A and B are shown apart, each in its own frame.
Chain A
Amino acid sequence: MTLRRVRVSETLRTSPVATLNPLMDRRKFLKSAGVGLGVGAAGSLVSSPIFREASAKAEPPKLEQYKTICTNCAVGCGFIAEVKDGVWVSQEPWFEHPINQGSLCAKGAAARSKVVSEKRLRYPMKLVGGKWQRISWDQGMSEITAKLQDVRKKHGPDALHFNFSAHQSNENGFAVRKWAAMWGTNNVDFQARI
């Protein structure tokens, strides 16, 4: 029997991307990127065998791949996100990307955690009597807008200030400025000046 070295996650993919970096096996990559320490789906990937029969024929399940851009600094590095059953399970280098040619810094290599971090805020909450209380979106939005209408009636539209973000996408940033204009104030700003 001929044994060949395979990437640990090979059983999960057919993508050509998987063969692009033969120097680093999956386990080493997971370790160095820290991915293996994660929760959920990623954890289960590490336990696959490192060697298997070269003649294995079973069609491996596919990972969906999406090209995206890191959301940290303004360099604009691309990478490929891999999704299985609606869960973001791994990242791969986008070697052809003209700016970063596949490489990422510590933050970019950890991009996945922005979505899978267990510290994510999961549902709307409000502070009541010094305690955080879970509420529904509908309750939150109706209370917020009722208060806004009240403030507008008493003090006018300039009693609202809106701090938005340079981490928002073009479309969302544009929409915030438009929203503020239609609310009726110029009290709207983001991090460009800080």
Chain B
Amino acid sequence: MAGLAQVFGFGAMTNHQNDIRNSRSVMIIGMNPAENHPISMQHILTAKEVNRAVIISVDPRFTKTSAFANIYCRLRSGTDIPFIYGLINIILANGWEDKKMVNERTYDFEALKAEVAKFDAATVADITGVSKEQLFQVAKAMADNRPGTVIWAMGGTQHSNGTAVVRTYCHLQLVLGNMGRPGGGCDVFRGHDSIQGVTDIGGGPETLPGYYGIAETAWKHWSKVWDVPYEWMLSRFKSKEMMEKPGFTVARWYEGVLLDPKELGQDTNIKAVFFMGHSTNSMSQMDRVKRALEKVELIVDFDPFVTNTAVLPDRTDGIYVMPAATNYEQWCSSTNTNRDLQWRQRVVDPVFEARTDLAILIDLAERLGFKKQFIKNMKGSWKGVPASMKEVKALPEQTIDDVLREVNMGTLSIGYIGQTPERLKRQQQWAHVFDIKTKKAVGGPVDGEQWGLPWPCWHDKHPGTSILYRTDIPVAQGGSGFRALWGPKAPDGQTMLAAEGSAPAGGPNAGYPAQKEYATDLTRGAIKEAMAEGRHPYGNGRARFNSWNIPDPVPTHREPIHSPRPDLIAKWPTYDDVKEHYRVPQPYKSMQKPEWAKQYPIVLTTGRIVELEGGSAAERADWWLVELNPEMYVEIHPKLANDHGIKNGDWVWIESPEDMDGKPSRIKVKAKVTKRVGPDTVFLPYHWGGVFEGKSLASKYPEGTAPYSVGESANTVTNYGYDRVTQMQETKTGLCRIKKA
């Protein structure tokens, strides 16, 4: 997401799943939609059948998606950048680039050209394992079959240089001219049902809702929306400095428990940890997570099911498991991968003693003394709800509407304005009038609207923007240029505004900066003014080949921290160590040890399978799904298995390098001998939990709550490594060794 934002201005999928029906080529890299986003395959396969689209699957593993592809490239995990640069090199050498797009809508193409020149086909073949001939075949297929889309997921991002990898995918699409048009785009597929929504209007440790950041202006904006004095908000924090300093992330919060406070970016360890719908088995460095869960004073897990968190640590007290309701037990909206907001009707009341997250949060706020401030904008619907939240299981529908209205009011930055509860509910009842290919309504009261009112949706008559950065339609119909996020000029003096002739139809036919204060003017006057003139509130800028404000301004190849090719580390080393990143020290070079490739010669990669998802506390508690995929396993190539004396179904130990603790981590799993993986790589699904280093934890669950299937967590052996920009964990490229158990 950060990669996309650094190039185009927004961290979001640019087109939509249905729009793949308009594609003539589809490159799927570091992703397996046939298992991870199964229903999206309908659109991909329609493109293949109806448009004769070329499907290209690029993955270290021959996945179920690869089985549908016209071209399959087996790429060594973590070498995406050389692969993409190899393609761009071929495209440029043959003059296949889209010169209009590059000249009029991008910044610093020369810098990119200089970098890609280093990656001739022979170099690419050496680093990635993809042959010169195949590389040419892919480049030609993409160039001959436009528009084409590039789709990726965690296979592209979970690397120590993940943000850089994503930027090169974007660069490829800019060079091919595939941006801002139906059938093209950068279609990152996201993982959870509302991950785009929670990214947009939740926000992590570095930002408030709506990507406002956590600088003073952001706090002042949200204080105003939440109707509380900024000074009160400030008084809640330790200091202004801590208020404006990014916090710990899910990837490394446990170091905040384990490390000496002197090494941390705050003066105290974490003493209490809350989980709300989050399993610990999706976090790498599981042995350290376990130790943190043993050291911390209080663990509270709000979840419909008992997760790995409750059973992983060896401790005798200090854990609370509190039953939360699922999203089926409440009214709510969620935002899917392509920015569509969809309304959920409540199916049943919360079952047993379960409570909805909102009810829990208000109850906590009440007991901690800030309920009055917390519910201020929910006042209108407060009638009918008792003054005390102590016995309340769920809030009425109007309260959920009020929360969404508060979102509409405050999230001006990305246009979460027109997605009112009334419109979402109306769309739900008129679903049948939306066209499958364009997702646009034909007739009825929703005529012209895009399904899900994808953001930016600037007012309650705006149809939403189903394809970002599209200039052939007016802003009022969902047109936009690239976001003018970086001011009118780059540090080198070049313009960051689009050239004349490249602007959304119907407005000024040139680049222009963002409308002043459009994101903070709660009267929405600034937005109205821009719309009236046919200008896009966030401006019409240029996409960046050179992101000067982050590490590796122009992406370059860096070997994974745990590289199986020590000979390449000298030429393509990882980053220098970082003293503080999200409040923890983050070593790179000092962790990249060439000798590890000798002791741990096999590449370790992880992923999802169709029957389960994430930490899978819920899916493994479902016996139909468990019956379909009952136990944890490792995929091993026949040669690797035979060389180790391992047969299909044998138990094997997988051991990974002694990163932080001076001892290897290990898991015991069953072997699935298959040619899906190459002889240098093993694959682990990461959904299991409830077994740690060969020992079952099933007896530690509260009676009757242990899932039908427990198994080792892949993340016990995924290696140390985090993205230089986002701190995303490097689970897709590690090293390991195997032996028969």
Which B residues lie within 8 Å of A175 (CB)? Answer: 357-358, 361, 403
Which A residues lie within 8 Å of B354 (CB)? Answer: 120-121
B326 to chain A, nearest CB (A): 5
- A127 near B298: Cβ-Cβ < 8 Å: no
B97-105, B303-311, B506-514, B658-666: which one contacts chain A?
Answer: B303-311
Is A12 an interface residue, CB under 8 A from the partner?
no
Within 8 A of A (CB), among B455-480: none
Contact with A along B256-299 (1 / 0, CB 8 A): 10000000001111111111111000111000000000000110
- A192 near B236: Cβ-Cβ < 8 Å: no
Residues of B in contact with A, size category: 35 or more
Give Cα A97 to B236, complex, Å: 45
Is B614 an interface residue, CB under 8 A from the partner?
yes
Is A45 an interface residue, CB under 8 A from the partner?
no
Chain A residue nearest to B284 in the complex (CB):
A194
- B202 near A176: Cβ-Cβ < 8 Å: yes
- B247 near A166: Cβ-Cβ < 8 Å: no
Is A59 an interface residue, CB under 8 A from the partner?
no
B82-90, B133-141, B317-325, B528-536: which one contacts chain A?
Answer: B317-325
- A171 near B333: Cβ-Cβ < 8 Å: yes
Which A residues lie within 8 Å of B612 (CB)? Answer: 107
- B332 near A171: Cβ-Cβ < 8 Å: yes
Tell which of A66, A164, A189 touches B345, judged by Cβ atoms closer than 8 Å: A66
Which B residues lie within 8 Å of A99 (CB)? Answer: 17-18, 39, 336, 340, 451
- B432 near A88: Cβ-Cβ < 8 Å: no
Is B341 an interface residue, CB under 8 A from the partner?
yes
- A170 near B341: Cβ-Cβ < 8 Å: yes
Chain A residue nearest to B609 in the complex (CB):
A106
Tell which of A74, A116, A125, A162 touches B196, judged by Cβ atoms closer than 8 Å: A74
- B328 near A163: Cβ-Cβ < 8 Å: no
Give Cα A54 to B707, complex, Å: 45
B373 to chain A, nearest CB (A): 6
- A159 near B40: Cβ-Cβ < 8 Å: no
Give Cα A108 to B275, complex, Å: 24
Is B637 an interface residue, CB under 8 A from the partner?
no
Chain B residue nearest to A72 in the complex (CB):
B613
B332 to chain A, nearest CB (A): 3
- B326 near A115: Cβ-Cβ < 8 Å: yes
- A163 near B204: Cβ-Cβ < 8 Å: no
Is A14 an interface residue, CB under 8 A from the partner?
no
Which A residues lie within 8 Å of B315 (CB)? Answer: 127
Which A residues lie within 8 Å of B655 (CB)? Answer: none
- B336 near A76: Cβ-Cβ < 8 Å: yes
Tell which of B321, B435, B439, B614 touches A121, judged by Cβ atoms closer than 8 Å: B321
Which A residues lie within 8 Å of B192 (CB)? Answer: 72-74, 165-167, 191
- B18 near A98: Cβ-Cβ < 8 Å: yes
Give Cα A59 to B441, complex, Å: 36
Is B248 an interface residue, CB under 8 A from the partner?
yes
Is B92 an interface residue, CB under 8 A from the partner?
no
- A169 near B205: Cβ-Cβ < 8 Å: no
Whether A121 contacts B305 in the complex (CB less than 8 A), given A157-B236, A162-B276, comes out as yes
Total interface residues in chain A, CB < 8 Å: 107
Chain A residue nearest to B316 in the complex (CB):
A130
Contact with B along A144-176 (1 / 0, CB 8 A): 110111010011111111111111111111111
Is A128 an interface residue, CB under 8 A from the partner?
yes
Chain B residue nearest to A170 in the complex (CB):
B197
Chain B residue nearest to A182 in the complex (CB):
B370
Is B342 an interface residue, CB under 8 A from the partner?
yes
A185 to chain B, nearest CB (A): 6
- B404 near A171: Cβ-Cβ < 8 Å: yes
Which A residues lie within 8 Å of B451 (CB)? Answer: 98-99
B444 to chain A, nearest CB (A): 12
Within 8 A of B (CB), among A127-144: 127-130, 132, 137-138, 140-144
Is B38 an interface residue, CB under 8 A from the partner?
yes
Contact with B along A64-77 (1 / 0, CB 8 A): 00111111111111
B31 to chain A, nearest CB (A): 12
Give Cα A162 to B203, complex, Å: 12
Within 8 A of A (CB), among B621-639: 621-625, 627-628
Is A184 an interface residue, CB under 8 A from the partner?
yes
Whether A179 contacts B374 in the complex (CB less than 8 A), given A149-B368, A193-B727, comes out as yes
B455 to chain A, nearest CB (A): 11
B120 to chain A, nearest CB (A): 34
B174-182, B238-246, B552-560: which one contacts chain A?
Answer: B238-246
Is B96 an interface residue, CB under 8 A from the partner?
no
Give Cα A141 to B614, complex, Å: 28
- B39 near A75: Cβ-Cβ < 8 Å: yes
Give Cα A30 to B720, complex, Å: 45
Tell which of A73, A174, A178, A188 touches B37, judged by Cβ atoms closer than 8 Å: A73
Which A residues lie within 8 Å of B618 (CB)? Answer: 114, 117
Tell which of A86, A149, A155, A156 touches B349, judged by Cβ atoms closer than 8 Å: A86
Which A residues lie within 8 Å of B42 (CB)? Answer: 100-101, 103
Which A residues lie within 8 Å of B278 (CB)? Answer: 163-165, 190-191
Is B434 an interface residue, CB under 8 A from the partner?
yes
Tell which of B208, B247, B703 touches A185, judged by Cβ atoms closer than 8 Å: B247
- A164 near B353: Cβ-Cβ < 8 Å: no
Whether A193 contacts B247 in the complex (CB less than 8 A), given A76-B334, A165-B278, A169-B333, comes out as no
B219 to chain A, nearest CB (A): 8
Within 8 A of A (CB), among B368-413: 368, 370, 373-374, 390-391, 400, 403-404, 406-407
Whether A169 contacts B332 in the complex (CB less than 8 A), given A105-B39, A119-B708, comes out as yes
Whether A73 contacts B191 in the complex (CB less than 8 A), given A141-B364, A178-B374, A186-B242, comes out as yes
Is B436 an interface residue, CB under 8 A from the partner?
yes
Chain A residue nearest to B314 in the complex (CB):
A130
- A187 near B270: Cβ-Cβ < 8 Å: yes
Which B residues lie within 8 Å of A86 (CB)? Answer: 348-349
- B327 near A167: Cβ-Cβ < 8 Å: yes
Contact with B along A82-122 (1 / 0, CB 8 A): 01001110000010111111011111101101111111111
B590 to chain A, nearest CB (A): 23
- A193 near B253: Cβ-Cβ < 8 Å: no
Which B residues lie within 8 Å of A174 (CB)? Answer: 198, 201-202, 209, 403, 406-407
Whether A125 contacts B702 in the complex (CB less than 8 A), given A117-B622, A162-B274, A170-B407, comes out as yes
Which A residues lie within 8 Å of B190 (CB)? Answer: 74, 166
Which B residues lie within 8 Å of A73 (CB)? Answer: 36-38, 191-193, 613
Which of A121, A128, A168, A183 has the most chain B CB atoms closer than 10 A to its own CB? Answer: A121
26 CB < 8 A contacts A-B: A34-B624, A37-B623, A66-B347, A68-B327, A71-B327, A74-B192, A75-B38, A76-B336, A81-B347, A98-B434, A106-B38, A106-B628, A110-B625, A117-B305, A120-B705, A163-B276, A164-B202, A164-B277, A166-B193, A169-B197, A174-B403, A182-B374, A185-B242, A190-B202, A191-B191, A191-B282
Point out residues on A near B: beta carbons under 8 Å.
33-34, 37, 66-78, 81, 83, 86-88, 94, 96-101, 103-108, 110-111, 113-130, 132, 137-138, 140-145, 147-149, 151, 154-179, 181-194
User: Other than the known A186-B242, A187-B248, A187-B256, what 17 A-B pairs have Cβ atoms closer than 8 Å?
Assistant: A74-B193, A76-B338, A83-B347, A98-B18, A98-B434, A100-B42, A108-B39, A115-B348, A120-B354, A124-B321, A145-B368, A159-B268, A163-B274, A170-B202, A184-B237, A186-B245, A188-B205
